[in-house]
Amino acid sequence: MEYAIRTENLAKTYGKTFKALDGVSLQIKKGEVVGYVGPNGAGKTTTIKILTGLIRPTAGHAYVNGIDVAASPRDALRTIGALIEVPGVYDYLTPHEMLTYFGRVYGMRRDLVDRRIKETLELVRLPDWEDKKAGAFSTGMLRRLAIAKAILHKPDILILDEPVLGLDPKGIMEVRELLRQFRSEGMTVFLSSHLLSEVAEICDSVIFLDKGKVVSSDSIEGIGQRMDHGVVAVRFLRPLSPQDTERLRSIDLIKSVDVKNSTARLHYDGKPESSVQILKSLVSLNLDVVSFAGEGVGLEDYYVSVMSDEKGVN
């Protein structure tokens, strides 16, 4: 099978001892949307910079559509669009001016550039802003403009490093819908993000990186099946006191409890009969239950389970 992105034992060492990447092997199929997650310093951006030819690996190989990026960067990068870290946009340029410049950088014909500017701005929902200065744009609009730049030359593969970083909820939603559209059109998307909820919403599968090594990878569906516990979300009539919380923890079938005011998330073994017994126990403890609903185990739970140490997801 020919993969859109493939790496073999990719390594990157800085100085004599710091290993940013330590034997990373990835296989991303064409048309997949894959999330790349891990804590700060895990090596996500280093991987992306190697894939886009910005830095060279210390060892190993990175291939894009079967082409070795380090050996033939011009050929490999011809089919890639990338957004790496927070992009800079000149406030005094219009989208038309900026995209015209990058069209020339991509080596596109002038007539093709003009046509693609129209198509791309329509795609990212900025057609009415083509000739307006970027200084008037919101953060979300600027991010969509940066994505327009990345896809101007119709790449097969889109590589994004924290595409929703710093966006408000509306901006996040706009980028999410844009990525869903790319997926529906068969584009391969490889993105790093610290927002696990967004990764779960957008991606087909997830690769987990920690300390420069891949510690797990699976489809979103597979991750749900691999977890050996479930979660019940319970809302009570009144906020829970510390004593109430201890009573919840005393129920044998409950593994752990997360309480916030009058709501609680109860972690258990996921068996339907256990859920029934937990509800009976809550009633017997005279805790006034308003609602009781099972939840799918979130990507956050799986993230915590596969990482070697407890740490933030940034």
pLDDT of residue 87: 62
pLDDT of residue 164: 86
Ranges in the chain annotated CATH 3.40.50.300? 5-222
Mean pLDDT over 46-68 rounds to 95
The band of 54, judged by pLDDT with boundaries at 50, 70 and 90, is: very high
Q: Reduced to 3 states, what is the DSSP secondary structure of residue 66?
A: coil
Residues 6+ apart with CB under 8 A from 230: 267, 268, 269, 270, 271, 275, 294, 295, 297
Query: Does 309 or 278 have the greater pLDDT score?
Result: 278
Measuring CA to CA, which residue among 160, 161, 163, 157 is closest to residue 187? 157
Q: What's 216-272 look like in SS3? A: EEEEHHHHHHHCCCEEEEEEECCCCCHHHHHHHHCCCCCCEEEEECCEEEEEECCCH
- Compute the mean pLDDT over every residue in the chain, rounded to the nearest whole number: 89
Ranges in the chain annotated CATH 3.30.70.980? 228-296
Could you tell me which CATH number the domain at 228-296 has?
A: 3.30.70.980
pTM above 0.85, yes or no: no
Neighbours of 284 (CB within 10 A): 9
CATH architecture of 5-222: 3-Layer(aba) Sandwich (3.40)
The band of 1, judged by pLDDT with boundaries at 50, 70 and 90, is: low
Measuring CA to CA, which residue among 203, 202, 99, 198 is closest to residue 153? 99
pLDDT of residue 298: 67
Q: Reduced to 3 states, what is the DSSP secondary structure of residue 143?
A: helix
- Distance from the first to the final alpha carbon of the chain: 33
Sign of CA dihedral 167, 169, 174, 177: positive
